[in-house]
Amino acid sequence: MRSSFFISLLAATSYVRAHVPKLGADGKYTISSSSIKAQFIPYGATLTNLFVKDKDGKDVDVVLGYDDIAYYPKDPGHPVYNSIPGRYVNRIGHGTYSIDNKTYKTELNDGTNTLHSGTNNWSYRTWNVTAATDDSITFTIRDEPNSEKGMPGLILANVTYSVCGDRWSIKMDAVSPSVKSPLMLTHHTYFNLDAYKNPDTVKIWNHTLYMPYSKRYLVADDGALPTGKIATAEASSINDFASAPGLPLGHAQRLQGFSSNCGGGGACEGYNGYFLIEDAPADTAVVTLASPFSGIKAELRTDQPGVVIYSCNWFDGTADLKSTQGTGRNKKVVRSSCVAIEAQDYVDGINHPEWGRRNTQITGPGQKYSWESSWTFTTL
Ligand SMILES: *[C@@H]1O[C@H](CO)[C@@H](O)[C@H](O)[C@H]1NC(C)=O
Ligand SMILES: *[C@@H]1O[C@H](CO)[C@@H](O)[C@H](O)[C@H]1NC(C)=O
Ligand SMILES: *[C@@H]1O[C@H](CO)[C@@H](O)[C@H](O)[C@H]1NC(C)=O
Ligand SMILES: *[C@@H]1O[C@H](CO)[C@@H](O)[C@H](O)[C@H]1NC(C)=O
Ligand SMILES: *[C@@H]1O[C@H](CO)[C@@H](O)[C@H](O)[C@H]1NC(C)=O
């Protein structure tokens, strides 16, 4: 009696599962193509795992994250692992901006600035799954007006992730039907193309980075806030990833200024800044990240005019790696062991009319915001 009860319960469970094939027992939704398997959760519309082929044809999980999905909301570090910080990504200088001569105040949650919209942030929300197939999934979010947090007006947004062959695509759309609001999105993707399995180094410095259309970058202050100045990186200088393919991320490690290149009172080594993408032909790879160890090459195509490169300085070695990553010795996310690559509009462009980005960064009734990028994974 008892055992037959359990057998029918088991049968009922697998019956239900058979009709929701995308959702695994671990709470992750899986989509796949011939060479990519990608997994997502509704929290933050987060990519939790991304398996691509290495030079030997083996599957490697190339993005950071956690095995246990219950840990994402609890993680005190909340690095915005492969999720969508909205409705206005990155910094708002001094927690203020204005639209039509009305000044709004946003929360100061990053020194004297606002980061990822303060407590209005979308990377802390549980999004709704509104469509799913074998190779694509759509998440939606309804972000209510929140004027006291400096975010006026309702925003309706969605993201569709899809995979096809060796390409992972991301498409976001959003509208602000009631009033004009700041609206600027990104996908905050963290990579280590070796899945922390290189026995010689878990640091990111031997990955190579090539951004041929990114000779210019936004000069930032100690709090990673752009000053307004746009500089050109000379060949072989710290911020040069344009002059030649195959420059290691750590090519400037021995140059003076590298260990304090991203502010933090001189404590931030490497990169946490915005590079412009200029004069790139349509559908061209604008960022190429590769690693000689795994042989994996990742190419970004995007409709965005620039990209934030953050080389994971602020990881303190307390967060666990996933079970798909690391080796016996390497089990933690240590400082400078990953790189976040975030295609987006100019950081704090809402406060810099001289850059001409305000019209793109503010969306109002009758307008539609859209954002599109893809990553192609091949081998060296
Ligand atoms: C904002 O203020 C300026 C200067 O006072 C004025 O010229 C402009 O028309 C105002 N704009 C709006 C949308 O009210
Ligand atoms: C993001 O929003 C959540 C929920 O409102 C809040 O708990 C968290 O502190 C916010 N994070 C930041 C960095 O402001
Ligand atoms: C998800 O859908 C429910 C029901 O329509 C809605 O109440 C909720 O606000 C949605 N959640 C988000 C994050 O948009
Ligand atoms: C996403 O949102 C846009 C703008 O609201 C809408 O036009 C589009 O139909 C939505 N797409 C999906 C797949 O939900
Ligand atoms: C990193 O690259 C440098 C030169 O590009 C090389 O000398 C070094 O052995 C590499 N280190 C590791 C751990 O792969």
For ligand 3, whether the C-beta of 86 sits within 6 Å is no
Residue ID of nearest Cα to ligand 5 atom 6: 206
Would you state the pLDDT for residue 330? Answer: 83
Would you state the pLDDT for residue 17? Answer: 40
Q: Is 65 helix (H, G, I), strand (E, B) or coil?
A: coil
CA of 159 to the centre of ligand 4 (A): 8
Would you state the pLDDT for residue 44? Answer: 98
Q: How far apart are CA 350 and CA 353, in angstroms?
A: 7
Would you state the pLDDT for residue 75? Answer: 93
Pocket of ligand 4 (CB under 6 A): 130-131, 138, 140, 156, 158, 160, 173, 175
State yes or no: cis peptide before 87, omega within 30 of 0: yes
Q: The CATH number of the domain where 18 resides is what?
A: 2.70.98.10
Query: Does the residue 317 lie in any domain?
Result: no
Would you state the pLDDT for residue 120? Answer: 87
Query: Does the residue 106 lie in any domain?
Result: yes
Pocket of ligand 5 (CB under 6 A): 200-201, 206, 248
Amino acid at 142: R
Count of domains for the chain: 1
Query: Does the residue 303 lie in any domain?
Result: no
To test the pocket of ligand 5, the residue of 198, 200, 206 to mutate (highest count of ligand atoms within 8 Å of its CB) is 206
Query: Does the residue 64 lie in any domain?
Result: yes
pTM: 0.93
369: β partners: 174
Amino acid at 230: I
Residue ID of nearest Cα to ligand 4 atom 11: 158
Would you state the pLDDT for residue 85? Answer: 95
Q: Which atom of ligand 4 is nearest to the CA of 368?
A: 4
Tell me if 20 sits within 8 A of 134, measured CB to CB: no
Query: Does the residue 299 lie in any domain?
Result: no
Q: How far is CA 192 from CA 66, 169, 274, 292, in A?
A: 14, 19, 20, 12
Query: Does the residue 349 lie in any domain?
Result: no
Q: Which atom of ligand 1 is nearest to the CA of 101?
A: 1
Would you state the pLDDT for residue 355? Answer: 98
Query: Does the residue 251 lie in any domain?
Result: no
Query: Does the residue 372 lie in any domain?
Result: no
**What pLDDT tens digit does each residue of the chain (380 aa) get?**
344 444 444 444 444 443 345 899 999 999 999 999 999 999 999 999 999 999 999 999 999 999 999 999 999 999 999 999 999 999 999 999 999 999 999 999 999 999 999 988 999 999 999 999 999 999 999 999 998 899 999 999 999 999 999 999 999 999 999 999 999 999 999 999 999 999 999 999 999 999 999 999 999 999 999 999 999 999 999 999 999 999 999 999 999 999 999 999 999 999 999 999 999 999 999 999 999 999 999 999 999 999 999 999 999 999 999 999 999 888 999 999 999 999 999 999 999 999 999 999 999 999 999 999 999 999 99
The full DSSP string for 204-273 is STTSEEE-TT--EEEEE-TTS-EEEEEEEPPTTSTT--SSSTT-BTTTTTTSTTGGGTT-TTTT--S-EE
For ligand 3, whether the C-beta of 127 sits within 6 Å is yes
For ligand 1, whether the C-beta of 101 sits within 6 Å is yes
Residues 6+ apart with CB under 8 A from 73: 43, 124
Range of the domain at 89: 4-180
